[in-house]
Amino acid sequence: MPTPWDHIDHDPTSITAEQRPTIRMRHMSMSCGGGFADRPTGRAFRSVDDANMALIELAMNNDHAMGGVLLEPDPLSLVTGAYHVIIHWGATSDRYHLDTIDYALPGEL
């Protein structure tokens, strides 16, 4: 009969290693008065291609914006090959961009 002090050894090779998310989407809200806020959206991705596809979908879903939508490569991003989306709503603009997650290891990007 097993006791509470017994333990089961698990074979680490039987556990499937899943790549964890290393890229997150951020939202920066900017107003004509000069104020802005930059915060995470809660969306995380495992590849820059998946993240860029989400940004493209975001741009397409907001193509009705009053001042237009701009989708282009992001020269300021820490993520190689990342896009960013700027949506102009008149007096305010929303910028969605990609950033690295703090716990990402250098080889995971």
**Domain layout of the chain by residue ranges:** 21-100
Tokens of 88: 């102009």
Place 2 in a pLDDT band, splitting at 50, 70 and 90. low
Q: What share of the chain is helix, strand, coil (3-state, %, to 5)?
A: 20, 35, 45
Q: Taking a C-beta distance cutoff of 8 angstroms, is the pair 86, 93 a contact?
A: yes
pTM here is 0.73
Query: According to the model, what pLDDT value does residue 84 have?
Result: 97
Query: According to the model, what pLDDT value does residue 14 have?
Result: 44
Place 101 in a pLDDT band, splitting at 50, 70 and 90. confident
Query: According to the model, what pLDDT value does residue 29 have?
Result: 94
Place 70 in a pLDDT band, splitting at 50, 70 and 90. very high
Tokens of 1: 């009969």
Tokens of 12: 């680490």
Q: Taking a C-beta distance cutoff of 8 angstroms, is the pair 98, 55 a contact?
A: yes
If we measure between CA atoms, which residue out of 104, 84, 106, 105 comes closest to residue 44? Answer: 104
List CB contacts of 74: < 8 A, sequence separation 6 or more.
82, 83, 84, 97, 98
Tokens of 70: 């701009």
By three-state DSSP, how is residue 62 classified?
coil
